[in-house]
Structure 1
């Protein structure tokens, strides 16, 4: 007869019971539970006054305790049906804690006798049936717990898998397990977010909750089914005490789904940084769908092919934790439709502008194989047809542009008084914007593509024929165009700054930032109003509909004017026509070709910037229309306030007016999204790239790791505006809440026209993203200050407040402190 079983041999639940077999398996799987041995149920027999130890138990028990080590011990049950997959018997048998070596035999008798209690008999009658029987008994070394409790690797209440539920108490967990006290409850979701039900956790830290969740998931992986574990923290760390299958019914496990979706924001974050409202996201989703349908059709993709791949174009973007991302797989699918894709996959991939290549799993499965033989000839013929079409579009571009401006002026010149228009009229106005401009985005689309080709070709040509001097000449011609609308704000702010300086009110205007400050200076007030009439739709993050434009809050403009007044008048860049005869004295053919292609590229750059300004005006008009609808919804009690409209999608807004909405409870939709976005805004930005398999509704990612200090002293970006400055660096992430002191070097991840107030104080500009045609490059040239763009990781590499040296010609940036 076996009386004592060592933990390594306690594998048969029919001998040692379910709980002991589970503990033995935990040890075999490397979990290292507290050491134990098992007293089998046959070690006792019923007596008149209680259990009686069979012959030889005392000797065997003494030897087992010596081998186990000093107490105190936990003495608990391990019935054959206990901790099974169907019934756990949790809390039905007795458990005795903090037992000394001399009292283990008495405690074991108590646990053995509990198998015949009325509570166990009732439980079996209800749950499992069968007669009463004694359990085996586990004798286990005690943990001197600082905190203990239970954890479920799946939520036993909701049945949700991959959600860990933890309950914790200070000290030992026996009172929690028995139901005598309530624990501190935590939930750890599949994304790794730990949330405590109590407002002020007192038992666990979020890090400890994550460790417990990882332990529960590891136990589930080891046993193959969701687990209910008991755990404890002591001075040595976290320990698992027990593990049993969760016996409540859970939701069925999801079927395997390996479809890969890749979200990447390495490019689009320049247009839509940070949190983006549902209205802006849905608006952008529609615009991207319409524009890129037209783009591939322009490049020779048939209407039928576009229609067959409608899902690709309707899903070019994703919104992850409130941030906008490209859906890269769909972008790659769209590129694969283009003629010539099979001839040069690698080049076309670079058109996506992302920082990491696509995985082979995607690239190998999409698009035709590399063209060979006769098919290669066919592909080149298709490319020739596309090239011919582009030439025709280039010839027709002036007419296309005139027609676009005519439609634009038709939309913006309508006599609709938004403040007096009802919801029906406002929805009709948006539909007019949509059909007249957003769905017919031809001039900006064609010009942008021709600009990309002309800019690259002219730059490469001058570099080939004139070397590095050719690149400098190209920069000077392309960026230093005074007739680019992007340069006009800097020019006008400088002029207004001069007027403010002459009036002696720079300090007052900078301190107050109110239009009323200019009441006694009508000429300055008129200049400011003229600026707002033309540029009133510009603002920080101007492509977001929820952004507040200058016409509604001109404080950043007034700050820029005051800053301009306080700084010495800069040397404005004036672009001069190159002396082509000097550049090519002996080759008139090269001279004429260079002059023509540079001039044509310059015109495309100018039109590109000017058309982007018109985009700002269109978006500004759409913003006012949606705010008008929000006003009407608020007046009718559908929304609490007009700006709540930004928490709805365009489909929901228009559906509420036109009659195809699904829910009349817009307030509830807004409240849910406000809550979700508020929580998302408190979290760190998701990583630049996220990969997910299966449904892409709830991506999971690891939090960004802390970036190690980069010891490099010198890095080089793209020089855009000549000059050399050494000054204090100021890292600015949000120009609405952070200020730049005059003479500081601005360091930013990206910029847009709303940064003009910051630019006006900058001695130099360093930007992580961007190109020679970026807004920051154009404005820097107008202000006459050095500028370097494309310095990847600049906001992590450069420390706020350190001394920086910037060479705007070479693109070299040097950290000077500690050198």
Structure 2
């Protein structure tokens, strides 16, 4: 073997191999380094011709055709000397150029590598490697990088061929504190050549998994090399059985500091339409980050795994120009924690209907220990499912008891610090119960997924929709029925005179009784800044007087034949879970109504103290800012200036036309946002049918809830419908929305009332005009305008 020269003579690739061999011995297959200056006749003169040619190309005085002709001439005239005979039956021949594998320029894939080279072919392979030093591909890369010159030279490495079962590349750092591998089967490293490969990421912050597709020593070596080199490294490797071969090591030229995040609002826009103010967003983010770890504890997921997923729980949401989104990839990450992840991802997508389906990166198989843990989780989940109804009934009782306790307080008599302390106690007290509603959401997801895919499938969509009808608890339509009954009683005494109702103590008591029970059911009820309908009795009276009792009665569920085995059970469990989900939705609205009352009281204190101008200014601040102001953690006490600045910013946010799916990428991903799906619709207007029936009627396009709207006999068209909007359903004949899915509140109510409904009709509010007659098909989603 030749004496080991310096990196300036042989290039980084050869020098890296020499360092690897010195550190890891026989893990590096034998090799010979052939310095170009030692094997090319009259190399100084050849090098000068090459560098002059490259410099002309980089300066633009030599075009592609001239470059190719002159480079071909130089290559044809190469004369070699001193190329030793191969010592091995097969070898790899790699170019080690002076310009490549640096910290700033990699020249990856530009220089020639010849694998499985027979002894008789070594000399020609070496010649081809030398010629690749000044190929047009290399010169083009240099021009792309803005170089004005290129040092041509280095060495050729001839190495014993290692025939692995797996070959691949390993990056010691992927920007997420993880080691990342890409690998493929076979002796030739097709991963490097760019073919499809499997991938694996391993956290640097946790113990290595018990089962890996490669020897764990390979991961350890990557970490050792990173520390030795002082920067992340890229290692090319091969494995046969348990034997490791280290084939190359190079710096990771480009730090993987950019990242991408994806957000989807297809589902959550039903609850948070349009712009949501900072207090609401900070409130809901805090709720989400608390309730989901509790849910996974209920499932039996270990504390270590929950701790490792803390960033997922804390970032389930996104706040883009004042609009609330799901950080969709993190929802898929949470689904992975549930046994049966592969099927659950499909069921999750069927329930939320994101703009694009996606999933987490593939990871290593769990191994025996992991399989045992998953089996135990699966058994526990099955037992929880069997007791879901009992848990839900217990939640209903406990929630009512605790809510009554807090409802009895008079917030107006509490100090500012006591308001926030009480709010935190409410959050802890009520949300400690919330694992049960999330378990029920999982129950909905699983049984609905089975019903849609196993029991019916896409070819029986109409039967699937019909089979969802027939809820037994009726919690979803209880506010509508109560409103219709109230309207009937008020009309009997006062006709349609709102003022007369409000002036009559007996009638007013009927209205107040309705508010006590259902006052938290209000349009956009999960946005704290929105007043509750119960705060304006005139709105309740107006809504009630416009109702028709017959429209509030549930439609009969049709008989459906030719059912697959298990459909009756699956359908019954799906409907029961939806029943509970609707009740829990109302319980959630009650929590938000309670929180609003506290924040309104806090706003009054801040106005009285001169910190704010108006009580509703409190909704322009975050929970953290209010806490800092009340408890003395803020170095900036000018709340007025913060509110004024945000009011100006949010005027622009309200006009933003954001896509259902948004993607951010870069060093700070949310700073560079782009829509990943169209915001509007082109071509034929259509949506998703979610409540059967064909209806031809006049359209009423609505962009904001108004209790005085006359939608009797009309098709209500709007961007979204949350639970509070459905109070208009006791008047409307049909509904079209731009958002939603088969499990949206609008779909559930419409099916129960026998009202045709089409959701996810992108562009409906801009392409349809009030007063126009259209026909909608609540099964197919067709809209004939």
Equivalent in the alignment of 2:68: none
Do the aligned residues in 1 keep the contact of 2:722 with 2:746 (CA within 8 Å)? yes
Q: Distance in 2 between matches of 1:444 and 1:292?
A: 11
Pairwise CA distance, 1:255: 10
SS class of match (1:452): helix
Q: Distance in 2 between matches of 1:716 and 1:526?
A: 43
Pairwise CA distance, 1:465: 15
Equivalent in the alignment of 1:368: 363
Pairwise CA distance, 1:574: 4.5
Say if 2:688 is the partner of 1:717. Answer: yes
Equivalent in the alignment of 2:222: none
Pairwise CA distance, 1:328: 3.2
Say if 2:319 is the partner of 1:319. Answer: yes
Distance change >3 Å, CA 255–CA 579, structure 1 → 2: closer
Say if 2:425 is the partner of 1:432. Answer: yes
Distance change >3 Å, CA 339–CA 755, structure 1 → 2: closer
Q: Distance in 2 between matches of 1:653 and 1:386?
A: 40
Residue 422 of structure 1 is aligned with which of 409, 415, 422?
415
Say if 2:470 is the partner of 1:488. Answer: no
Pairwise CA distance, 1:701: 4.0
Do the aligned residues in 2 keep the contact of 1:331 with 1:352 (CA within 8 Å)? no
Equivalent in the alignment of 1:542: 525
Q: Which has the higher contact order (CA 8 A, sep 6+)?
A: 2
Equivalent in the alignment of 1:646: 619
SS class of match (1:486): coil
Distance change >3 Å, CA 440–CA 561, structure 1 → 2: closer
Distance change >3 Å, CA 788–CA 261, structure 1 → 2: closer
Pairwise CA distance, 1:750: 1.7
Do the aligned residues in 2 keep the contact of 1:342 with 1:368 (CA within 8 Å)? no
Structural mapping, 1:718-737, within 5 Å: 718-722=689-693, 724-736=694-706
Q: Distance in 2 between matches of 1:737 and 1:524?
A: 19
Deviations 1:493-542 (A, max 9, x none): 22233234434522x33xxxxxx431465554333221111111222111
Residue 553 of structure 2 is aligned with which of 566, 572, 576?
572
Do the aligned residues in 2 keep the contact of 1:458 with 1:594 (CA within 8 Å)? yes
Q: Distance in 2 between matches of 1:598 and 1:391?
A: 17
Equivalent in the alignment of 1:286: 286
Pairwise CA distance, 1:470: 5.1
Q: Distance in 2 between matches of 1:794 and 1:287?
A: 33
Pairwise CA distance, 1:313: 1.7
Pairwise CA distance, 1:323: 1.1
Residue 397 of structure 1 is aligned with which of 382, 388, 393?
388
Q: Distance in 2 between matches of 1:645 and 1:435?
A: 22
Say if 2:736 is the partner of 1:780. Answer: no
Q: Distance in 1 between matches of 2:310 and 2:588?
A: 25
Residue 614 of structure 1 is aligned with which of 587, 602, 615?
587
Equivalent in the alignment of 1:307: 307
Q: Distance in 2 between matches of 1:459 and 1:686?
A: 27
Structural mapping, 1:214-363, within 5 Å: 257-339=257-339, 341=341, 353-358=353-358
Say if 2:424 is the partner of 1:443. Answer: no
SS class of match (2:771): coil
Distance change >3 Å, CA 312–CA 812, structure 1 → 2: closer
Equivalent in the alignment of 1:553: 536
Q: Distance in 1 between matches of 2:351 and 2:751?
A: 27
Pairwise CA distance, 1:451: 2.4
Q: Distance in 2 between matches of 1:457 and 1:727?
A: 35
Do the aligned residues in 1 keep the contact of 2:318 with 2:326 (CA within 8 Å)? yes
SS class of match (1:755): helix
Structural mapping, 1:661-740, within 5 Å: 661-685=634-658, 688-696=661-669, 698-701=671-674, 707=680, 710=683, 712=684, 715=686, 717-722=688-693, 724-736=694-706, 739-740=709-710
SS class of match (1:564): coil
Equivalent in the alignment of 1:815: 784
Gaps of 5+ in 2: 1-58, 60-253
Q: How many residues align?
A: 531
Structural mapping, 1:148-187, within 5 Å: none
Structural mapping, 1:436-475, within 5 Å: 436-458=429-451, 462-463=455-456, 471=464, 474-475=467-468
Residue 412 of structure 1 is aligned with which of 369, 379, 404?
404
Equivalent in the alignment of 1:599: 572
SS class of match (2:508): helix
Distance change >3 Å, CA 765–CA 376, structure 1 → 2: farther
Do the aligned residues in 2 keep the contact of 1:716 with 1:791 (CA within 8 Å)? yes
Q: Distance in 1 between matches of 2:346 and 2:723?
A: 33
Distance change >3 Å, CA 438–CA 650, structure 1 → 2: farther
Equivalent in the alignment of 2:721: 751
Q: Distance in 2 between matches of 1:702 and 1:461?
A: 34
Do the aligned residues in 2 keep the contact of 1:343 with 1:376 (CA within 8 Å)? no
Do the aligned residues in 1 keep the contact of 2:258 with 2:666 (CA within 8 Å)? yes
Equivalent in the alignment of 1:388: 379
RMSD: 3.7
SS class of match (1:788): strand
Say if 2:603 is the partner of 1:630. Answer: yes
Pairwise CA distance, 1:544: 0.6
